[in-house]
Amino acid sequence: MKDNKQTIFSRVYLIYGMVCLFAIIIIGQTVNLQIIQGDKWKEKEESLTRTFKEIDAVRGNIYAADGSLLATSIPKYEIRFDANTNALTDGYFNENVDSLAFELSKLYPEKTKWQYLTALKTARKKGARYQLIRRNVKYTDLKRIKKFPIFRNGKYKGGFIYTQQNRRVNPFNILASRTIGYEREGLKPVGLEGAYSKELTGVNGKQWMQKIAGGVWMPIDENNGKESEDGSDIYTTIDINIQDVAEHALLKQLETHQADHGCVVMMEVATGDVKAIANLKRNIDGTYYEGYNYVIGESTEPGSVFKLASLMAAFEDGYLDLNDRVNTENGTTKFYDAVMRDSHEGGYGTISIKESFMKSSNVAISKEINRVYSAKPQEFIDRLYKMDLNKKLGIEIAGESSPFIKSTDSQTWSGISLPWMSIGYEVQMTPLQILTFYNAVANDGKMVKPKFVKEIRQRGKLIKHYDTVVINNSICSKKTIQMAKEMLEGVVEEGTGRNLKNAVYKIAGKTGTAQIANDKYGYKYEAKVSHQASFVGYFPADKPKYSCIVVINAPTQNVYYGNLVAGPIFKEVADKVYASSIQIHEELKTKESFAASRIPVAKNGYYSDLSKIYSTLHVKTILSSNTPKWAKVTTSEKEVKIDKKNIAPIYVADVTGMSIRDAIYILENQGLRVSFTGNGAVINQSVLPGNKIIKGEKIILELAS
């Protein structure tokens, strides 16, 4: 009995000892976890449930030259509700939740008041800390929501939580979209968005976020957070009005000729500022979109527009002159076994070098270049290199293709390379590289780098200004430049581009029509060859202000010549720019003194008054147009000629030759403040006719005596 009792106690003590030992181990481990390793595990827990997340900075805007927005970040907000915030009592919630649901249903009627009410009450019942209310909320709506019942009490008392997300938009949609570009995660940056990403991005902020049920990260307030710094704004050289005209003119012509793709770019001659750049590609359904920057990235054989460089090389080396004569034979000539042809069957006979350029004679130009350089072809290549035609422009926008000007040590050099290169084959250049060369001619030999951005600003403060970069101060002599200009003006005055000629201002330029070979079939299968039509030039020809190139690829309506396909786009854009740029117009001449005659001389003025006076005096009048409101008068010995005097609503009227009464009437109706000196008819005005009207501007009229 005693042994059994002893055995039982031994077992009890053993079990008790084991329990005590286990308890000691648990206590020891607890102490170890909470005190000794407490900081370590606390950090571990916080790393899993709390983290310091980056908050994206607002990306800077991209502006046109006049301040119009080309790209901007639109803030969108996500509204959440912390239904379990400590300061929100059941009484207050129940008293106001009905009103909150009503306001939400008024603002966003796709859900009824009862649906919002049910969602809010369910969130409160479940203790939801981050209940979604609405995504993609506009800023104006956010301001209203902040005033709604419950939410007006803020985050801690009302459980109102909102987070900002930014969405990049282009207000003008397709306009210059490829040049503006984009920067998206996982994709190579494109255009200005990519080139100036560092400046546009800004500095991201940081904020503590806590992980709650469902794996959702909720922002929490911590003192050591950091606010983001917005990105800088980019001010481009793009003129939104010229851009709009260029885009629509290009689209219209592409649709007319059902071409595969095309591009147009316009530069300011002196500065290199790119005023407009458009690239359009045809979809399968026949519509067009901006999918690739052909102006910068597509390097092709330029065709006839390269003839300018060839002849300038020969002029500069002293081998040719404008008046040198060349026989175009019957419109064909042979170099080894290859036949060179002119587009004009039968040839042009014997013509001058200037005429060969104006008529774009392949035979004449290739024969002459081959004649003077055949024994030393590398001299021709070196001259082209000295004009920087073999170098990339180094523009900021990514994707510029390298030009290809073949050297004589190339493995592909052959006996026909020189004559074919002279007319724009076996060489490759992008439209922007060609335009930069022509722009240098317009700029009296100074080659400037195309510029897309004028300045960078941070909250209106100037951070950086971009000056014009000179690539080559003089690509050739002044004499060569003058000969080049004379040829380019001749093309439009009486050559292949004469359909672009107008009576208001002069255009100088060159048409181009190139065959673009299919990589598989080459040139010999005509059905497999597409065409590239181009026109490049500048205006006004006598005082160049702008240069422009148009390139259309693969027109399909049996019309592919540069003057007919690309030329009309150039003219439409140039006409628009000239019409809206008063500073490049020739000054209007003030009216000379009146003719002496036996017939009483009248001042220019109101037609009804003039007609009554001459009728009373029985003076013969000749009316050159329909009955005008305002008239200008030319008095001869036996008669008076009356012409219509146009008064444009937006330009300062020409009031010379008018009475002061009529002059004041017209000018004050145009919004100008008028003062005058002297007596008689107006002989001079301080604000020249044709200037754009500035309302309230003062104009002083000088009278005859």
Same structural domain, 513 and 631: no
Q: What is the pLDDT of residues 529-576, one digit of tens each?
A: 678 999 999 999 999 999 999 999 988 777 777 788 898 999 999 998
pTM exceeding 0.75: no
Asked, for residue 14, whether it belongs to a domain, the answer is no
Among residues 170, 203, 235, which one ends one of the domains?
235
Q: What is the pLDDT of residues 131-144, one digit of tens each?
A: 888 888 888 899 99
Average pLDDT of the segment spanning 644-655: 76
Whether the Cβ atoms of residue 402 and residue 299 lie closer than 8 Å to each other = yes
**So what's the pLDDT on residue 75?**
77
The CATH number covering residue 81 comes to: 3.90.1310.10
The CATH number covering residue 661 comes to: 3.30.10.20
Asked, for residue 563, whether it belongs to a domain, the answer is yes
Comparing CA positions, the residue from 442, 440, 508, 450 lying closest to residue 475 is 440
Mean pLDDT of the chain, nearest integer: 83
> Using 50, 70 and 90 to split pLDDT, how confident is the model at 524?
very low
Average pLDDT of the segment spanning 407-414: 92
Q: Distance between CA 218 and CA 210 in Å, rounded?
A: 5
Residue with token string 């403060």: 461
- Tell me the two tokens of residue 43: 């950090």
67: left (phi over 0), alpha (psi -120 to 50) or beta: left
Range of 38-47, 351-360, 602-611, 667-676 with top mean pLDDT: 351-360
Asked, for residue 572, whether it belongs to a domain, the answer is yes
Q: Distance between CA 543 and CA 442 in Å, rounded?
A: 8
Read out DSSP for 75-116?
Answer: EEEEEEE-TT-TT--HHHHHHHHHHHHHHHHHHSTTS-HHHH
Q: What is the pLDDT of residues 611-620, one digit of tens each?
A: 777 777 777 7
**So what's the pLDDT on residue 527?**
47
Average pLDDT of the segment spanning 477-506: 93
**So what's the pLDDT on residue 372?**
96
Average pLDDT of the segment spanning 315-329: 95
Q: By mean pLDDT, which of 97-106, 223-232, 265-274 is the weakest? A: 223-232
**Based on C-alpha coordinates, what's the Rg of the chain?**
39
Range of 39-53, 209-223, 533-547 with top mean pLDDT: 533-547
Same structural domain, 545 and 664: no
Same structural domain, 576 and 628: no
Same structural domain, 482 and 526: yes
The CATH number covering residue 488 comes to: 3.40.710.10
Same structural domain, 221 and 248: no
Whether the Cβ atoms of residue 536 and residue 566 lie closer than 8 Å to each other = no
Same structural domain, 124 and 230: yes
Same structural domain, 559 and 616: no
Statement: residue 378 has pLDDT above 80: yes
Among residues 201, 235, 269, which one ends one of the domains?
235
Same structural domain, 443 and 319: yes
Same structural domain, 679 and 578: no
**Residue burial 540-572, b: 16+ Cβ < 10 Å; e: rest:** bbeebbbbbbbbbbbbeeeebbbbbbbbbbbbb
Beta bridge mates, 521: none
Q: What is the pLDDT of residues 163-181, one digit of tens each?
A: 877 777 777 777 777 788 7
Q: By mean pLDDT, which of 31-40, 297-306, 322-331 is the weakest? A: 31-40
Q: Distance between CA 134 and CA 124 in Å, rounded?
A: 17
- Count of CB atoms within 10 A of residue 85's CB? 17
Same structural domain, 200 and 258: no
Average pLDDT of the segment spanning 238-266: 92
Asked, for residue 43, whether it belongs to a domain, the answer is no
Which one is predicted more confidently, 680 or 80? 80
Asked, for residue 139, whether it belongs to a domain, the answer is yes
Among residues 179, 206, 235, which one ends one of the domains?
235
Range of 159-173, 209-223, 366-380, 681-695 with top mean pLDDT: 366-380
Residue-number span of the structural domain to which 107 is assigned? 53-235
Read out DSSP for 602-630?
Answer: --BEEHHHHHHHHHHTT--EEE-SS--SE
Q: How many residues are there in the chain? A: 705
Q: Distance between CA 545 and CA 252 in Å, rounded?
A: 26
Asked, for residue 326, whether it belongs to a domain, the answer is yes
**So what's the pLDDT on residue 408?**
94
**So what's the pLDDT on residue 678?**
78
Same structural domain, 281 and 256: yes
Same structural domain, 202 and 268: no
Q: Distance between CA 703 and CA 88 in Å, rounded?
A: 83
Average pLDDT of the segment spanning 416-424: 95
Asked, for residue 673, whether it belongs to a domain, the answer is yes
- Tell me the two tokens of residue 282: 């045809």
3-state secondary structure 325-356: EEECCCCEEEECCEEEECCCCCCCCEEEHHHH
The H or E element spanning position 12 is: helix 2-31
Q: How many structural domains is the chain composed of?
A: 3
What's 298's DSSP letter? Answer: -
Residue 172: CB partners within 8 Å, gap ≥ 6?
68, 70, 240
Side chain identity at 134, as an amino acid letter?
R
Going 350 to 351 to 357 to 358, the CA torsion angle's sign is negative
The H or E element spanning position 277 is: strand 274-282
Asked, for residue 13, whether it belongs to a domain, the answer is no
Beta bridge mates, 451: 273
